[in-house]
């Protein structure tokens, strides 16, 4: 936990680590995205990831609840992965830049990248409107 004073208030930044050795990158990132969705955009500060020898690590950095979180919005965090073994980092980043151009700035949380045994991995993390819960079935007709 890290604390810093800003405008006389103490804000605390915390983190949660997600590790994966027996699950795919997509599953690991989805798990972290679910956690960040529970926190909401007012608390999520950043997301980073790293990979080494097939083991992935994702870190969600977030503000303490006492940091004055805004009311929860109906948003969820989406993550999209781009992997590139046969292309250069420049090409991989160019593909990412092109895809990120369609994301509004207020939606974008983070872009992170790492090398996974020679395979480049780039993740785009951004907020989208949460799909509404399905409506409950209507009650049976009264007899």
**Where in the chain are the domains?**
2-129
Contact by Cβ (8 Å): 35, 79: no
Least confident of 20-29, 59-68, 111-120: 59-68
Q: What is the DSSP letter of 135?
A: P
| E-assigned strand segments in the chain | 2-6, 9-20, 44-52, 55-63, 75-84, 108-116, 119-129
Mean pLDDT, residues 29-48 taken together = 92
- Give 138 or 29, the one with higher predicted confidence: 29
Say whether pLDDT at 86 is over 60. yes
Torsion region of 66: left, alpha or beta (phi above 0 gives left; psi -120 to 50 gives alpha):
alpha
What value does the mean pLDDT of the chain take? 80
The answer to pTM > 0.85 is no
Residues in the chain: 143
């Amino acid at each position: 936990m890290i604390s810093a004073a800003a405008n006389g208030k103490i804000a605390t930044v915390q983190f949660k680590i997600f590790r994966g050795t027996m699950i795919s990158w997509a599953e690991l990132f989805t798990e972290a995205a679910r956690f960040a969705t529970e926190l909401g955009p007012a608390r999520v500060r950043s997301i980073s990831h790293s990979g080494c020898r097939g083991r992935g690590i994702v870190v969600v950095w977030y503000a303490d609840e006492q940091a004055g979180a805004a009311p929860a919005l109906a948003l969820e965090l989406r993550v999209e992965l781009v992997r590139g073994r046969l292309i250069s980092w420049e090409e991989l980043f160019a593909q990412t830049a092109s895809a990120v151009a369609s994301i509004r700035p207020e939606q974008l949380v983070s872009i992170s990248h790492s090398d996974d045994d020679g395979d480049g991995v780039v993740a785009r993390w951004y907020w989208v409107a949460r799909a509404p819960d399905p409506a409950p079935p209507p009650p049976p007709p009264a007899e």
